[in-house]
Amino acid sequence: MLSRVADSIYWLNRYIERAENTARFIAVNFILTLDTAEERGDQWMPLIYASGDEELFQERYGKATKEHVIQFLTFDTHNPNSILSCLTAARENARSIREIISSEMWEQVNRFYLYVNNSACTDTANSYDFFTQIKLEAHLFVGIMEVTMSHNEAWHFGRMGRMLERADKTSRIVDVKYFTLLPKVDDIGSPLDSEQWAAVLKSVSGLEMYRKKYHLITPLEVAEFLILDREFPRSIFYSVSRAQRSLHEITETPVGEYSNPAEKSLGKLRSELEYMDIKEIIAFGLHEFMDSIQRKINGVGEQIFETFFAMRTVGDE
């Protein structure tokens, strides 16, 4: 497969997943602030912290109002991680590989992009239903890809990109909760604390599956579910393990062995999560552990680029 094609299908999926997860960030904050009469900056700035774009946000907007944060994360084309920027990049990647993806995938990317772009100047853009629809549009793309594209090498590049992005963004969604409580340590363990953890579960569509397994909401078990669960499709462990599986399908290297730095790093990350205990994570520090996971996923992404996508001159090995 051409590296250009592999790069495009990989990033097409990462950008769709990134757009969806940004919508999830915002949707969970709508839930967290639902019963609050007064809008405060400390309710919305955690979303900027979790996205890692606080410097650009401060430069462009300064004050973290609800309107500023939603505009920055959703429609601001100067923010490369905004929903609209991600969908613009996804559409361009899809356009460049139309001969590889199905026509239904191409049509859905276009519908998704036009829906968000046409909503930029409407009142619906500040509603919970708008961000719920973004999630559904992303789900529709994934479902269409699942049933209309051969599960070949290109498909595995796409799934690997989606799963790495999902693992990173689940860690950031957990961080939204951390940053929300950061100035209010007294709230930890309170009824408000439980409501906020429930909102975090809703943000990953995981509340029902969590209750089937654990019943009562406790911070320790919510963290365990989102980080280490082996069956929930948005947990960090599940996402990393599926990314690893696709990488080994691409290279045809047996699981447990490695033929390139990306396989080695991804295998180490999966093993770390597989044998990690939630109490060890809490002792290490939840935010610190999430930050470590994000750095390692970024490292894997860089190694995937160097192994499969980087341009090489003739004669390079």
pLDDT at 195: 76
* Residue 295: alpha-carbon gap to chain centroid: 14
List phi, psi (to 5°) of 264.
Answer: -65, -50
pLDDT at 7: 96
Q: Which single residue is written with the structure tokens 């957990």?
A: 174
| Number of Cβ within a 10 Å radius of residue 220 | 13
Average pLDDT along the chain: 88
pLDDT at 184: 47
DSSP single-letter state for residue 308: I
Contacts of 56 (CB under 8 A, 6+ apart): 78, 79
pLDDT at 183: 43
pLDDT at 81: 95
pLDDT at 34: 65
Ranges of each domain in the chain: 1-149, 151-311
For the chain, which ranges sit under pLDDT 50? 37-38, 41, 181-189, 314, 317
CA distance 248 to 259: 9
Q: Which single residue is written with the structure tokens 């004669």?
A: 315
pLDDT at 37: 45
Per DSSP, the three-state class of 257 is: strand
pTM of the model: 0.91
pLDDT at 188: 47
